[in-house]
Amino acid sequence: MKRLGWFLAGGLLVALLLAGVVSNFASGSPDGLDATAREGCTFDAAGEITGGHCMAQREQEHQFADSPLADYQIKGIDNPYLSTGLAGVAGVLLTFGLGAGGFWLVRRRERKAA
């Protein structure tokens, strides 16, 4: 059990470092889905659609646009690097917590059944 704890702690540390630091170096270029959705349109220097026909013309703001972690940043923090890093750390901790809670519940049910 001790080895598993060290393994999980090491994995969590690596994930936190990647989310908190390395995420700031991610490409700002559109990914494959965005690039495909923009095919067929023309754009100005600011990246706004000026003509043509493409799927991106019908895009809308999503329902969670005003949430605290929208757009991979924490609302209210003006420094974009700190905001992105903290949002990544929050996401990792939330995901780890949900996963650990789920495993704990499954394990607890197995013990009761035995």
DSSP string, 85-113: HHHHHHHHHHHHHHHHHHHHHHHHHHHHH
Q: What is the pLDDT of residue 10?
A: 95
Alpha carbons 11 and 95: distance in angstroms, whole number: 13
Q: What is the pLDDT of residue 1?
A: 64
For residue 85, with 0-12 CB atoms within 10 Å meaning exposed, 13-18 middle and 19 or more buried, which class applies? buried
Residues 6 or more apart whose CB falls under 8 angstroms from that of 98 comprise none
For residue 41, with 0-12 CB atoms within 10 Å meaning exposed, 13-18 middle and 19 or more buried, which class applies? middle
pLDDT, average across residues 16-21: 94
pLDDT, average across residues 3-12: 93
Q: What is the pLDDT of residue 27?
A: 76
Q: What is the pLDDT of residue 83?
A: 93
pTM of the model: 0.71
pLDDT for residue 18 is more than 90: yes
pLDDT tens figures, 69-79: 888 889 999 99
